[in-house]
Structure 1
């Protein structure tokens, strides 16, 4: 579907910093680049606006959106609460194959030589397995949109280095043990502690709200 193709490509261009926040995004140039009409481009941009990546102002243009501190905080707290809920549910339904996948990810994450960007990908896969194990596709898809946006804003170079990484590794291993033992309450507690630490880090980057 052309709309989906345009959505993915424009989103990746935004994430890669291909657009200046001071210059309007040219719909005509995008249509030429993707070899498609303006209609799927417009639909893709509308979707990206709903997700917070851009601002569309009639008679003015389409611009990459600067992050708003209040929205960052609100999205983070929503993401944390949904992920904590999914982790608790996962402790009741996670299977042996999923546990084995988590174990392999942990082993890869604990290699000293791993780069921050690679660690970030492993971290995302770790949490994705847990969320999928909860068997609640609606909550998972809802949260994925928000996490994708927050990951776009985040600075993994700092979050996944040094003592921050050491703490992340320890927290992930404790969450794994709680899931393996089938303990919903402990899993909930550990996941909340882990994600709130990450949330405070990201919120601190954009400023706290009263």
Structure 2
């Protein structure tokens, strides 16, 4: 695990929140695993209070489930959760792309090109975490430039969970096979040309494919087979 040393510029709870969020998204804490408050507090060099505040914030983002008298756990979605999440994305992301094209086409294209380049480098290096981050940057860049605060707010409800699912469940597959990378390159091209009928069709298929990978990987985990 990376160093948990804190920088002094922000509140302790916010620092713990940001570091723990990144650790969950990057797969340092496995989906469904327990998050020990006392160990975290000792690692961060803080009391339990900012750790608990951070965990509450993470619960709001859907990354953590707090079970009273039991403990705090990294979220672990069911098949139904994955299907609902994918349906949400299939509704929102194509519309966000149309808004972003009208609002800041050049800015989006530049951001997507950076993300695709980072994905290519991650594939070459076999770096699943870097691939997941680049994949997340690709999708987030479109929504962030939609010019619509309500679309951005709606996406933020699921963005951290989607990022964690990518790194934990689909990035190991995506680094080994060309499908995901090639689809992102094609999405970039379709966005740049403003062909949103083809863009929506491919984005829908892309999200559905990701959802199938999430479910397959979830069901293959030992804890799923045993219980």
Aligned to 1:183: 195
Aligned to 1:113: 124
With normalisation by structure 1, the TM-score equals 0.76
Asked which structure has the greater RCO (Cα within 8 Å, sep 6+), the reply is 1
Q: Does 1:71 align with 2:77?
A: no
Q: Does 1:81 align with 2:91?
A: yes
Q: Does 1:48 align with 2:63?
A: no
Q: Does 1:124 align with 2:136?
A: yes
Aligned to 2:113: 103
Q: 1:6 aligns with which of 16, 27, 35?
A: 16
1:97/1:148 Cα in 2 relative to 1: closer, same or farther (>3 Å)? closer
1:80/1:28 Cα in 2 relative to 1: closer, same or farther (>3 Å)? same
1:102/1:63 Cα in 2 relative to 1: closer, same or farther (>3 Å)? closer
Q: Does 1:168 align with 2:180?
A: yes
Cα separation, 2, equivalents of 1:70 and 1:20: 16
1:127/1:153 Cα in 2 relative to 1: closer, same or farther (>3 Å)? same
Residue segments in structure 1 that go unaligned for 5+ positions in a row: none
With normalisation by structure 2, the TM-score equals 0.71
1:179/1:44 Cα in 2 relative to 1: closer, same or farther (>3 Å)? same
Alignment check: 8 A CA contact 2:169 2:218 kept = no
Aligned to 1:29: 39
Residue segments in structure 2 that go unaligned for 5+ positions in a row: 1-10, 220-227
Cα separation, 2, equivalents of 1:144 and 1:41: 22
Please list the CA deviations of residues 76-120 of structure 1 after superposition, one character each: whole Å capped at 9, or x if unmatched. Answer: 322332222212322333332432343354355456734242333
1:50/1:153 Cα in 2 relative to 1: closer, same or farther (>3 Å)? farther
1:4/1:79 Cα in 2 relative to 1: closer, same or farther (>3 Å)? farther
Alignment check: 8 A CA contact 1:20 1:64 kept = yes
Q: CA deviation at 1:18?
A: 7.9
Partner SS state of residue 88, structure 2: helix
Q: How many residues align?
A: 202
Aligned to 2:174: 159
Aligned to 2:8: none
Aligned to 2:5: none
Cα separation, 2, equivalents of 1:59 and 1:203: 30
Cα separation, 1, equivalents of 2:124 and 2:17: 35
